[in-house]
Chains A and B, each alone.
Chain A
Amino acid sequence: MTDAANPKLASVNDRPPSPLKPIVWVQRNLFNNLFNSILTLLALGSIYFIGRAVLEWAFISADWRPVTHNPILYLVGQYPRDQLWRVGASLLLVSFLTGMSWGKWQGIMRSFALLLGIGLAILGIIPAGGQLGSLAVRAFFLINVPAIFLGYMLGSRKFVTSGWVLAGWLISFLLIPFLLRGVGEGTMLPAVETSMWGGLLVTLILAVGGILLSFPLGVLLALGRRSSLPVIKIFSIGFIEGIRGVPLITILFMSSIILALFLPPELRIDRLVRALIGMTIFSAAYTAENVRGGLQAVPVGQIEAAKAVGLNNFQTTFFIVLPQALRAVIPAIVGQFISLFKDTTLAIIVAINELLNIGKSILQSDVEFLQLQFEVFIFVAAVFWVFSYLMSFASRRLEAALGVGER
């Protein structure tokens, strides 16, 4: 049939409407009548004045000396300056493994590796005073960039399996605390008490450690709560409800101070480890409830199908139920991790020098800084925001990546 014979066919569009030109879009959406035009102008006006005020404060009137005076303090606290290479080596290991993960898995790891490289490169060349400006520290930062690419080259090789990369991460999580803590006098690695650690280093150790430990614990508790074995079920319910009923500050106090009072001195656990345990059990209880929500969302037909093909209970749980349950609750779990990350600031009450506490002590370290709280807190808030946003970003990318084949 020709188009002439069927006029309706001839008028059918063979391509989607082209997007509006910017000027037309503005006319139609922002200035389509008098009222909207006034609103648009008002909004533009307020953006201009608020933005100008903020920029003027940040670049002209704010006094950033408490931040720029000794940036190393924010990064590692009182960690002995002659031992900083150990922190540098740990960072180097993380960079290398991030690069390897990029090579192996692409996707989100690519974004992370690039962000890490760019961030560290900026730290390495930013004009800064004090020790951050020293050539050695700059070199520590800049050497991470080739390390990331070296890792990438290695990771994209065929013979490097996912198992290798995972094993690398696992080993590094055991190696890094050992490297930072050291063994004793007279060795390559003199002991550095954790009371000397501080700043972003401690914040990240509490957050990453808390997340990595509380996630599997939370999953086990969620499974335990649905177990048919009464002992496991009652223990899980008791643990979850007991912990959720208590504020984090109380848990930190109990794990740090009360526990230490009752344990004999030779059994005394390191203060940072005690805080980490407190954060972990607190976060695990919440993670468990999030995961339980996901477990309930898996249709019973999935379990029947898994059993019908002959999978046992363990295989059904790990291959069929958990993957679907966890995917359903990624946003909730990441939300829980973001709040865990921000809750690391509460470790302040058990005298741990995490990032916010460092900021406060810097304020008190110099009479001239006493009035500059605003600058310090804005800076600390910005650092927290960057990390929290990265987690949120990762969550969205992860959801999108796992959404393939979603019903």
Chain B
Amino acid sequence: MSDPIIICRDVEKWFGDFQALKGIDMEVYKGEVIVIFGPSGSGKSTFIRTINRIEVHQRGQIIVDGMELTHDVRNIAAIRSEIGMVFQLFNLFPHLSVLQNITLAPIWVRKWSKDKAEEIAQQLLERVGIPEQAEKFPGQLSGGQQQRVAIARALAMQPKIMLFDEPTSALDPEMIKEVLDVMIELAQSGMTMIVVTHEMSFARAVADRMFFFDEGLIVESGTPDDIFNNPQEDRTKLFLSQILTN
């Protein structure tokens, strides 16, 4: 196997006196799909937010595609344009149309022409299954449609890595599937993905490895087969029994 595209070594993070991450080690290889799960407050969202430096880690090392995350602004900009992120609450720009949401960064960061950016945006809308919504505003779309636009917006920068921070937690049940389908298609296309989610059907379908977080630590990791059929730790068993019976 080639070198890992993401290397995290002993990553620690405090919010005031509260230690959210207590030394996370993780290596992610190109094309891998990683699922991170765990109880709320376990640090899983904080962790993936440190990978594109929306949260700043205070100790340890994060290296993305050969570049270490430091205070160097150029490094941060370069890394952010290689990582796409999808948020729990979509965070679409409400004052811009769907098309403008998607083309803004390619035009201003990648310096593409407007025509090229719009052409690619239209292809991405096609890919996420809502080509007819290009001229609408986010407020006119359903939650599932908004999240699919958010995925298209992240993909428009042609990232090497995609981060998903609980992408289906804010959705009505009947809309979860339409978003998961897009994510599964993306995983099968070979995208490197780190997904924080409790959707175990997604993990079973496409995850290469799973990490169980609790209290700022990785408690257990392994393939979906290991985790679902042969969990080693009591905390993992307890948590899985709670979410799988629901």
Contact = CB atoms under 8 A, between A and B. Distances in A.
B91 A311 contact: no
B97 interface: yes
Nearest to B98: A405
Interface in B46-84: 52, 54, 77, 80-81, 83-84
A309 interface: yes
Nearest to B109: A310
Contact of A324 (B77, B85, B95): B95
Interface in A354-407: 402, 404-407
Q: How large is the interface on A (under 10, 10 to 19, 20 to 34, 35 or more residues)?
A: 20 to 34
Interface string B90-110: 011111010000001100110
Interface in B106-156: 108-109, 136-140, 153-154
Interface stretch (A8-16, A114-122, A298-306): A298-306
Given A320-B93, A324-B95, A308 B85 contact: yes
Give chain A's interface secondary structure class.
Answer: helix
A302 B92 CA distance: 7
Contact of A323 (B95, B153, B157): B95
A327 interface: yes
Contacts of A309: 80, 84-85, 104-105, 109, 153-154, 157
A320 B54 CA distance: 17
Contacts of B83: 308
Contacts of A405: 94-95, 97, 136-140
B54 A404 contact: no
B93 A302 contact: yes
A305 B108 contact: no
A307 interface: yes
B157 A310 contact: yes
Contacts of A327: 95
| Closest 4 A/B residue pairs (Cβ) | A405-B137, A305-B91, A309-B105, A310-B81
Interface of A: 299, 301-302, 304-312, 315, 319-320, 323-324, 327, 402, 404-407
18 contacts: A301-B91, A304-B87, A305-B85, A305-B92, A307-B80, A308-B54, A308-B83, A309-B84, A309-B105, A309-B109, A310-B77, A312-B77, A319-B108, A324-B95, A404-B137, A405-B95, A405-B136, A405-B137
